[in-house]
A = this chain, B = another copy of it.
Amino acid sequence: MSETTRVRRKRGSITQDEIVTAALRLTDREGESALTFARLGHELKASPTAVYRHFANRNEILRALANHLDGISIDGYVPTDDWRRDLEDLGWRAWRTAITHPAAAAISLSLVSNGANELRAVEWVLRAIHCAGVSGRDAVVQYQVYTNLVLGSAGAQAARLSAADAVESSEGWIQVYAPKDPSRYPHAEAVKAELTSVTYEEVFAKQMQMYLDALAMTSAGRSEAPA
């Protein structure tokens, strides 16, 4: 923490890419709440307001961050002939990105970025669905179902991890709705013991398999057999 000799940054020295990279570094290190113009400016060694030359507002930064995460997810992905493997692969890529960058994913994953990487991912999902023998209107519906599933699960997991990083969980305050009467909730009670042994990753795996099974049924008889 030495005193920094603040130099004026040359014009054109700040790019959208540099800002997004700084935003990811910031959120990875210090969580969701660290993504402010002030701290972004400090991270870039520039004035907070300089960012406004490159993004219209905070939401545009979030959308660019979403697209950046999409890029991390699909980096190195190559489509194959096996639609089932492809959809599973793409899903786990999103999951891994979400748990690697939970804070960034939590604040940006639910946004439609309209970015190039998102478009690429959309294309690949539609390709896999086409390979599964679903086309036209049904393909659009299946694309949406798949996206809901993957982004919903990965986003929820990111939110959980990000929240766990951030809060100390406020004890000492009135737990208004305590489980006062466990006998009224027999099924919840019966299953209580198993709760700790189930992981969200396992749930995601199961959810993915159920979806892929159902999709295979939808296109039953038409799906091309793997070589």
Tell me the A residues contacting B by CB distance below 8 Å: 16, 56-57, 60, 64, 67, 110, 112, 114-116, 118-120, 122-123, 126-127, 130, 135-137, 139-145, 148-149, 151-153, 155-156, 159, 170, 173, 175-179, 184-188, 190-191, 194-195, 197-198, 200, 202-203, 206-207, 210-211, 213-215, 217-218
Query: Which residues of chain B are near A137, meaning CB under 8 Å?
Result: 194, 197-198
Query: Which residues of chain B are near A202, meaning CB under 8 Å?
Result: 141
Do A194 and B144 touch (CB < 8 A)? no
Do A127 and B207 touch (CB < 8 A)? no
Query: Which residues of chain B are near A159, meaning CB under 8 Å?
Result: 110
Query: Which residues of chain B are near A140, meaning CB under 8 Å?
Result: 191, 194-195, 198
Do A191 and B139 touch (CB < 8 A)? yes
Query: Which residues of chain B are near A155, meaning CB under 8 Å?
Result: 152
Number of copies: 2
Do B177 and A144 touch (CB < 8 A)? no
Do A206 and B145 touch (CB < 8 A)? yes
Among candidates B115, B127, B145, B194, residue contacting A177 with C-beta atoms closer than 8 Å:
B115
**Nearest CB to that of A115 among chain B residues?**
B177
A216 to B191, CA, bound (A): 20
Query: Which residues of chain B are near A203, meaning CB under 8 Å?
Result: 141, 144-145, 148
Among candidates B119, B139, B145, residue contacting A178 with C-beta atoms closer than 8 Å:
B119
Query: Which residues of chain B are near A170, meaning CB under 8 Å?
Result: 56-57, 60
Scoring A122, A142, A191 by chain B CB atoms within 10 A of each residue's CB, the highest score goes to: A191
Query: Known contacts A140-B195, A197-B137; is A188 also within 8 Å of B123 by CB?
Result: yes
Query: Which residues of chain B are near A177, meaning CB under 8 Å?
Result: 67, 114-116, 118-119, 122
Query: Which residues of chain B are near A187, meaning CB under 8 Å?
Result: 123, 126-127, 130, 139
Closest Cβ of chain B to A200, distance in Å, is: 7
Scoring A148, A173, A178, A218 by chain B CB atoms within 10 A of each residue's CB, the highest score goes to: A148
Among candidates B141, B191, B217, residue contacting A198 with C-beta atoms closer than 8 Å:
B141
Do A179 and B112 touch (CB < 8 A)? no
Query: Which residues of chain B are near A143, meaning CB under 8 Å?
Result: 191
A26 to B45, CA, bound (A): 40
